[in-house]
Amino acid sequence: MTETTTHTNVGLQRDQLVQWVKSTLVQRLSLRIKPEEIDENITLFGSGLKLDSVDAFELAMAIESEFGIPVADEDVPGFGSVGLIADFIINRHASPAP
């Protein structure tokens, strides 16, 4: 059984967001590695973790569901690493899209 916590108030520290992204990648995408094995700066698409567009869509849905932050198609290319996704969540929360 998976416990889901919705972060309606993104008062999380960046390191907590990085851990959330790592755990989400492993759980939602069924990666066969442990979250702590994922480096914050590893390339997610192409080389690195070799994620694809379906994985990107799943990740966008997870962000929308968990944080209530809309993710547009044009946002996804910026999801190059775990750290960049954490920064996206922080920045989008600080200045919500119109």
Give the chain's domains with CATH numbers: 37-90 (1.10.1200.10)
Residue 2's pLDDT is: 39
Read off the pTM: 0.83
Helix (H) or strand (E) holding 21: helix 14-28
| CA–CA separation, 57 and 95 (whole Å) | 22
Distances (CA, A) of 70 to 35, 42, 43, 92, 93: 24, 24, 23, 9, 10
Residue 3's pLDDT is: 39
Q: 51 is written with which tokens?
A: 């994620």
One pLDDT digit (tens) per residue for the chain, 98 residues: 333 444 444 467 999 999 999 999 999 999 999 999 999 999 999 889 999 999 999 999 999 999 999 999 999 999 999 999 999 999 998 776 55
